[in-house]
Amino acid sequence: MKKRMLKLMSILMVSSVIFMNETSAILASGSVAKQETSSESKNDNGQDYKTDQDEKTTSDNNKQSTNSDTTSDNNQNTTSDNTTKPQAEVKEKGDDVKVKEGDKPYLSLGSDLSPDQKNTVLRLMGIDPNKLGDYDVNYVNNTEEHQYLDSKISSSQIGSRSLSSVVVTKASKGSGIKISTYNIGYCTVGMYKNALATAGIQDANIIVAAPFKISGTAALVGTFKAYKNMTGKDLDQKAVDASLEEIVTTGQLEQSADGKKENIEAMIADLKQQVANNQLKTDDDIRKAIDDAAKKYDVKLSEKDIDKLLNLLSKLKKLDIDWSAVKNQAQNWANKLGISMDDASSFWDKIVEFFKSLWDFIVGLFS
């Protein structure tokens, strides 16, 4: 018996050392990954942040945009067939989405586009304006924009004309949402992706374009219409409403919180995944999750910011929606930033597994 006890004590001591080494390794690997990612994000993001700042045209500048329509059109080059070429400085942001041969594109165009502006938008999308009749086309008007967004943002942000447009094509199953934008200021690629996933959109390639820099709210509404035409299914209106609230909340946080835009967007996707996994039962759970996620993504939030996130996540928690698109989008952010969404849960799972194995071994000694 004495020998067995000595043997047991030796095993426990060795096991403790192994356990501490494993724990340190897990924590260290997570820390290194986060530090490396933070460094990469800083290098990749510095210039983009400046560009985004320059593109905030629609917050209070829709009137300014309206007044500059003629100037924007006149400054563009015209081809021999009297159509407009996109300006040279227009750059794609996002996933470099292209309309490929064999795709069946579904378009939603801003109803207030002039003929020249429409040609500019179509060329940015890679669509020949002369072949527009070959596509499934609908139009988004300003009244629809206000119906969707009046309760979320000010009328000045929505503007008085619908100009931003979108083309949607079906992607292979499981590929998620891919987006490219041209001349879109208020809505970032990440904001679009997160919000559209919440609305229930899955496996779609999307191009959002405008004739000059504007907010992109019309294209958001247009995506819902184009996706419905593509799939033949209505999106859940409560989910659509929540997705619009999400994109507005994200935009507000990117103005008020201290952190990189993509980190804020990834943080929200992470929190949504926790809602999808039914991990957040109470308001206290949500607050703790927000606090943990803010630290994880290096975002400093005010109490007002936390309250906005709490309201959004509480609303999402009550929805009966297909969470698979949300989880997929969260994982895409994790892959991009090199952060594991499952760091915390896998860590504790390993602890439980370790002690279970140890207990089974000890029981085996006396059986």
HEC letters along 150-219 = CCCCCHHHHCCCCCCEEEEEECCCCCCEEEEEEEECCCCHHHHHHHHHHHCCCCEEEEEEEEEEECCHHH
For 233-252, write each residue's pLDDT tens digit. 999 999 999 999 999 999 99
Q: What is the pLDDT of residue 361?
A: 55
142 Cβ contact partners less than 8 Å away, ≥ 6 residues apart: 111, 112, 158, 159, 160, 161, 162, 218
User: Is 303 buried (19+), middle (13-18) or exposed (0-12) by CB count in 10 A?
Assistant: exposed
Q: What is the pLDDT of residue 90?
A: 81
The angle at the Cα of 220, spanning 217 to 221, to the nearest 5 degrees, equals 95
| Paired tokens of 60 | 């209070």
Q: How confident is the model at residue 353 (pLDDT cuts 50, 70, 90)?
A: low
Q: How confident is the model at residue 91 (pLDDT cuts 50, 70, 90)?
A: confident
For 196-211, write each residue's pLDDT tens digit. 989 999 999 999 999 9
From 305, 306, 295, 286, select the one nearest 339 (Cα to Cα): 295
Say yes or no to pLDDT of 321 above 90.
no
Largest distance between two CA atoms of the chain: 98
| Terminal alpha carbon distance of the chain | 13
Q: What is the pLDDT of residue 10?
A: 56
Rounded Cα gap, residues 170 and 318, in angstroms: 29
Say yes or no to pLDDT of 332 above 80.
no
CA dihedral 227, 228, 230, 231 (to 10 degrees): 110
Say yes or no to pLDDT of 176 above 60.
yes
Rounded Cα gap, residues 311 and 84, in angstroms: 45
From 136, 143, 200, 211, select the one nearest 328 (Cα to Cα): 200
Say yes or no to pLDDT of 9 above 90.
no
Q: How far is CA 224 from the centre of its chain?
A: 16
Q: How confident is the model at residue 278 (pLDDT cuts 50, 70, 90)?
A: confident
Rounded Cα gap, residues 161 and 157, in angstroms: 11
From 114, 128, 127, 126, select the one nearest 76 (Cα to Cα): 114
Domain ranges of the chain: 62-236, 248-350
